């Protein structure tokens, strides 16, 4: 499967999609993706749901919606072997962190900023199954992989939208749908944050890939920036009195201005970029084992000379970079900042932008020792690996 990002979503160019729909309104895109094969087989998806490090849920649509049963993973073999005369859905989160071909599929969405990409959730449903009417706070592309699903699109919601009484599912009490689509394999539906939607499988073996895009809440921005900055600020630095009225309980306007200045002093382009680079690349699953066998320079040079295979970003690894005021590039990977020597920037930009480099085409970006050293650091931490394809 190619790692090239999409240039078209069905008949829409990426530019048209971004101008007219992205973060604005839902759109159904027919034949958006040409699948050669399924991204994952049902038994492999079920196998992932048994693993303790994988987030999964089984939702059983038995009886009244308020009684729908949710079982959180790790699931057990018996959960799949049970005979059921009612519909059910298996949902597995972050499948791109575990399965290389699903990670490759995520790369098709690099036409959007890669720090916005969250994960691919894959659901497998039996005929009639659904997770109920709800809204997400993410942008999401819902792509039909196999079978058929009917989608209904409703109103824009908010935190004030009334929810049903269910202790595990956030389902809307009122779902005012006004558009309906049946998706076939290769069709996709883009849904902006807060837009109500409901999908119901209308075939057996209905597989949906949800490509989710996160965006930090304002509250998160403020708390995580403040947390990051406070690490570097000496506890000896204290607010200076700004001039006060004796014998007064007042917090003066000058005090408030002094506090605001103290905060403003921290909001520099360098500080914000450093914090956001680290924050936005924090691992989704920090406990994921990425260990690769350590490689030395001689082994790396021999791979480059053989000019065979590809260098890949490891599944589950988040990369981003920023150019700082002085012209230097900082690479962010799994929440760490790695300042990059100028001779290594071409390599770092190439791998962070493309996620995959053909070894036989890598020579121009890996000509010098600094680039090779950077590659070895990233490889030996398990962030990159060599593969046949
Ligand atoms: C599903 O795949 O069943 C649900 C996806 C969603 O509505 O977010
Ligand atoms: Co949803």
The 10s digit of each residue's pLDDT in 82-140 is 889 999 999 999 999 999 999 999 999 999 999 999 999 999 999 999 999 999 999 99
Choice from 208, 209, 212, 213 to test ligand 1 binding pocket (greatest atom count within 8 A of CB): 208
Q: Is 2 a residue whose pLDDT tops 90?
A: no
Would residue 273 count as lying in a domain?
no
* Residues 178 and 303 both lie in one domain: no
Note the pLDDT of residue 3.
80
Lowest-confidence pick of 73-82, 120-129, 146-155: 73-82
Tell me the C-alpha distance between 131 and 232, whole Å.
45
DSSP 364: G
Q: Is 66 a residue whose pLDDT tops 90?
A: no
* Residues 129 and 204 both lie in one domain: yes
Please give the distance, rounded to the nearest whole angstrom, from the Cα atom of residue 146 to the centre of ligand 1: 14
Ligand closest to Cα of 59 equals: 1
Buried b (16+ CB within 10 A) or exposed e, 333-366: bbeebbebeeebbebbbbbbebbbbebeebeebb
Interval 161-186: pLDDT, tens: 999 988 888 999 999 999 999 999 99
Choice from 119, 210, 213 to test ligand 1 binding pocket (greatest atom count within 8 A of CB): 210
Would residue 278 count as lying in a domain?
no
> Which atom of ligand 1 is closest in space to residue 149's alpha carbon?
3
- Residue 194: which CATH number? 2.60.120.650
Query: Pick from 120, 147, 142, 133: which is nearest to 207 by CA?
Result: 147
Tell me the C-alpha distance between 200 and 198, whole Å.
7
- Please report, rounded to a whole number, the percentage of residues in the chain having pLDDT higher than 90: 86
Which protein residue's CA is at the shortest distance from atom 2 of ligand 1?
123
* Residues 246 and 97 both lie in one domain: no
Note the pLDDT of residue 292.
75
* Residues 107 and 192 both lie in one domain: yes
Q: What's the average model confidence in pLDDT over 142-158?
A: 98
- Please report, rounded to a whole number, the percentage of residues in the chain having pLDDT higher than 70: 99
* Residues 55 and 147 both lie in one domain: yes
Domain count, the chain: 3
> Which atom of ligand 1 is closest in space to residue 198's alpha carbon?
7
> Which atom of ligand 1 is closest in space to residue 140's alpha carbon?
8
Q: Is 1 a residue whose pLDDT tops 60?
A: no
Would residue 2 count as lying in a domain?
no
Q: What's the average model confidence in pLDDT over 282-309?
A: 89
Q: Is 218 a residue whose pLDDT tops 80?
A: yes
Note the pLDDT of residue 289.
76
Q: Is the peptide bond before 74 cis (omega within 30 degrees of 0)?
A: yes
- Mean pLDDT score of the chain: 94
* Residues 30 and 129 both lie in one domain: yes
Q: What's the average model confidence in pLDDT over 42-61?
A: 96
Q: How confident is the model at residue 275 (pLDDT cuts 50, 70, 90)?
A: very high
For residue 204, give its domain range. Answer: 8-213
Q: What's the average model confidence in pLDDT over 32-42?
A: 92
């Amino acid at each position: 499967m190619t790692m090239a990002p999409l240039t078209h979503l069905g008949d829409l160019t990426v530019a048209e999609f971004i101008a007219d729909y992205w973060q604005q309104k839902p759109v159904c895109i027919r034949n958006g993706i040409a699948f050669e094969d399924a991204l994952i087989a049902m038994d492999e998806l079920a196998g992932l749901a048994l693993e303790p490090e994988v987030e999964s849920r089984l939702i059983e649509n038995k009886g009244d919606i308020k009684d729908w049963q949710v079982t959180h993973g790790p699931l057990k073999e018996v959960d799949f072997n049970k005979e059921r005369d009612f519909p059910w859905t298996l949902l597995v989160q972050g499948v791109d962190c575990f399965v290389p071909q699903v990670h490759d599929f995520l790369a098709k969405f690099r036409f959007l900023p890669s720090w916005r990409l969250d994960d691919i959730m894959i659901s497998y449903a039996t005929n009639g199954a659904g997770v109920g009417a709800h809204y997400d706070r993410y942008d999401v592309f819902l792509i039909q992989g196999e079978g058929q699903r009917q989608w209904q699109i409703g109103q824009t919601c908010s935190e004030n939208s009334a929810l049903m009484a269910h202790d595990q599912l956030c389902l809307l009490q009122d779902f005012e749908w006004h558009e309906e689509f049946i998706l076939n394999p290769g069709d996709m539906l883009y849904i902006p944050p807060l837009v109500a939607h409901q999908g119901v499988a209308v075939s057996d073996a209905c597989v949906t890939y949800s490509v989710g895009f996160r965006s930090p809440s304002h509250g998160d921005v403020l708390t995580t920036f403040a947390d990051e900055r406070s690490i570097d600020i000496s506890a000896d630095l204290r607010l200076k009195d700004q001039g006060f009225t004796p014998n007064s309980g007042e917090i003066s306007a000058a005090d408030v201005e002094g506090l605001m200045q103290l905060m403003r002093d921290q909001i520099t382009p360098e500080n914000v970029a450093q914090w956001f680079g680290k924050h936005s690349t924090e691992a989704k699953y920090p406990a994921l084992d990425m260990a690769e066998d350590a490689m030395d320079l001689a082994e790396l040079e021999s791979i480059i000379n053989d000019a065979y295979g590809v260098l890949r970003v490891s599944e589950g690894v988040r990369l981003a970079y920023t150019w700082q005021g002085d012209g230097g590039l900082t690479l962010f990977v799994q929440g760490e900042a790695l300042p990059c020597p100028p001779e290594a920037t071409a390599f770092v930009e190439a791998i962070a932008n493309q996620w995959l480099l053909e070894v036989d085409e890598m020579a121009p970006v890996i000509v010098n020792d600094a680039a090779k050293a950077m590659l070895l650091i990233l490889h030996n931490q398990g962030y990159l690996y060599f593969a046949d394809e």
